[in-house]
Amino acid sequence: MRISGRDMLALSPALAFVVLFALVPAVVLFASTAAAAGGLGGIVAIVSSPLNVASIENSLEQGGLSALLAVALGYPAGVFFGRYAFPGRDILRSLLLVPFLLPSLIVVFGVLDLFGADGVLSSAVPWFGTFGSGLPAIVVANLAFNVPIVVLFTSTGGESAPRDLEETVASLGGSPGRAYVDVWAAPTWVGAAAGGLLTFLFSSLSFAPPLLLCGPRCYTVEARIWSLASLTLEPTAAGALALAMVGLFLLPTVAYLALLGRLRGASGRARPRRRSVPGRSVVGVALAAETALVLGSVVVLLAAVLDRTLAPIGSRGPASAWVALFSDATTARLGVSAVGLVANTLLFATGAAVVALLLGIVLGYAVQGRPARAGALGLVLFVPLLLSPVVLAVALAEFWRPLLGGAPNVWILVIVSQSILALPFALQSIEIPLTGLSPSVREGAEALGASRWVAFVDADLPRVRDGLATAGLFAFALGLGEFTATNFLVTARLTTLPVALYELADSRLFAVADAAAGLLLLLSLAVFLAIAVGGRRVEL
């Protein structure tokens, strides 16, 4: 792939955004860290401290275990979605993204509500309490997020298997098992591996689960960086660990992007397939049962959160947690009312969505019909993926907060951080339909005298409006639930629902926190419904 100067110019708005608000702050952070630590030796010494090494080990343990289990549980269900027809398949496939779009804290609350001290399942069968805290609880929370992602990726791989070749193998005498080995095992495992790697990355860098379900002994690198930067105020140590983290997760991130590219390439070439009916084979029935069990568990986890919001506080009536959430006492504790929390959350999410959408449109114009630019776009998206939310927040705060005039303008950084974190995922929703678009309508408009930009707006954009709407909603949903970076940056007056949720839980006000979690869940589900209405298909 050769990227020309004009390609770079066309991509410059997005590049400038990522460079100014991610790359430069991160490089400055790492450079100042290296200077303060006294060079590489100092950084190595900081990273080698027992607590930092433990956090790296925790990251690898939690990430590795979660990824292996997510693939083991998600692969059969992914095969089921990719190869079988059943009522409501398309809507269910869209639903797979719900856990991914949900704030991490909600899933953590789901784990506590099911398996915690007085959880629904642990109260009935004490053995379930095993999953209420420590490593098992963290892994369960990670799985609730990530198994659906593995299912989604595996199903995309299964759908991309060449149908004609598979049928030809059967006609040549190859059994269904042989067709699996020779034709469709590879694409499904490419999907599962991509999902597994994403699970590894998300779980290794998870923040809320170790914080609320275990404590310092389970801190991941991400949680440890936050602790160093916010609690013990050791910015050099935080920066050194952040640098080590980028190095540590560079390889899995590159591997993930490579697999994703392969999966999307195969998916783009795939012809629609007629799917089998599961009831016609033992394998189909078994896969259906496994899928129902795995996805049913995720639904139960989320339902537990909603159910808990209706539980009375002490002798007060049902839904008293909701009353408490909107009470003056809660407002006084948080420094902002519940209505204000919702307003702040919606404001930041809207900002993130608008930024992602505008960049998406400009990038769409830049990459239309130009594979080299689409490839370069992948590189642009690569940077935010590599920076975890806490590292991004620390870098932004260090570099931009003084330049923006301190606390009063920190809202800009919240929007910037949310949009940067949402960018890699939201832009996929625009790029995928745009790269698959036939250029004839646009070329026709150009032949009629329209400029390149006007032709793009008149001919291409209307044809990818679903992708645009999905990208905006996706960024909005991710902004809605973003906790890690926002928690680091935000001031009390601008607190969002996820941040308040953590503060309430940290203050042991679990009932009110449950109501806040319920409110956040309902908001997220409303966004998801907006994505699903009209059959919009979302890809990661």
Partner 1 sequence: MSSSEPLLQVTGLSSSWDGRPVLRDISLTVADGEFFVLLGPNGSGKTTLLRAVLGLEPPDRGRVVLGGVDVSAWPVHRRGIGLMFQDPALFPHRTVYENIAYAPLLHRRPRPEVDREVDELVSLLRLGGFEDRRPDQLSGGERQRVALARTLAARPRLVLLDEPFASIDVELKAELRAEFRRVLGTRGIAAIHVTHDREEGLFLGDRVGLLFDGRLERVGRPSEVYAGPGSERAARFLGYNVLTGPRGLEAVHAADLRWEAVGTGGLAATVVTAGSVGREELVVVRTDAGDRAELRRRAGSAPLSAGDRGGVRWDRSIPLDG
- Supply the minimum distance, in Å, between the C-beta of residue 270 and partner 1: 12
Quick one: 126 or 173, whose CB is closer to partner 1? 173
User: Of the two residues 173 and 317, which places its CB atom closer to partner 1 in the complex?
Assistant: 173
Give 166 or 431: the residue with its C-beta nearer to partner 1. 166
Q: Write down the least CB distance from residue 333 to partner 1, Å.
A: 58
Q: Which stretch binds partner 1 (CB under 8 A): 158-166, 220-228, 335-343, 365-373?
A: 158-166
Burial class (CB in 10 A: 0-12, 13-18, 19+), 282: exposed
Among candidates 12, 18, 20, 19, which has minimal Cα distance to 362?
A: 12
**Contact of 116 with 128, CB cutoff 8 Å:** no
Beta carbons within 8 Å of 430's beta carbon, 6+ residues apart? 360, 361, 363, 364, 464, 467, 468, 471
For partner 1, the closer CB: 2 or 274: 274
Q: CB-wise, 275 or 333, nearer to partner 1?
A: 275
**Closer Cβ to partner 1, 49 or 168, answer by number:** 168
Residues 6+ apart with CB under 8 A from 511: 311, 313, 320, 321, 324
CA dist., res. 140 & res. 132, Å (int): 9
Given the rule CB under 8 A, which of 70-78, 162-170, 229-237, 375-383 is the region that contacts partner 1? 162-170
Number of residues located near partner 1, criterion CB under 8 A: 16
Torsion of CA 272, 86, 430, 434, to 10 degrees: 10
CB of 171 to partner 1, least distance (A): 4
The SS3 call for residue 84 is strand
* Contacts to partner 1 from residues 164-183, by CB under 8 A: 164-165, 167-176, 178, 182
Task: Give the angle subtended at the CA of 11 by the CAs of 7 and 15, to the nearest 5°.
Answer: 130
Helix (H, G, I), strand (E, B) or coil at 317: coil
Q: Look up residue 423 and give its amino acid.
A: L
Distance CA 486, CA 30 (A): 21
Nearer Cβ to partner 1 (170/407): 170
Q: Which of 41, 125, 274, 453 binds partner 1 (CB under 8 A)?
A: 274
Contacts of 340 (CB under 8 A, 6+ apart): 331
Residue 517 Cβ, how far from partner 1 at the closest point, in Å?
42
| Nearest to partner 1 of 48, 168 (CB atom) | 168
136 binds partner 1 (CB under 8 A): no
Name 308's Cβ contacts closer than 8 Å, sequence gap at least 6.
Answer: 109, 113, 514, 518
For tokens 């089998």, what's the residue?
A: 276
Please state the closest distance from residue 172 (CB atom) to partner 1, in A: 4
* Shortest spacing between CB 164 and partner 1, in angstroms: 4
Q: Min. distance of Cβ 279 from partner 1 in angstroms?
A: 13
162 binds partner 1 (CB under 8 A): yes
Amino acid at 448: L
Least Å from the CB of residue 193 to partner 1: 18
**Interface residue list for partner 1 (CB under 8 A):** 162, 164-165, 167-176, 178, 182, 274
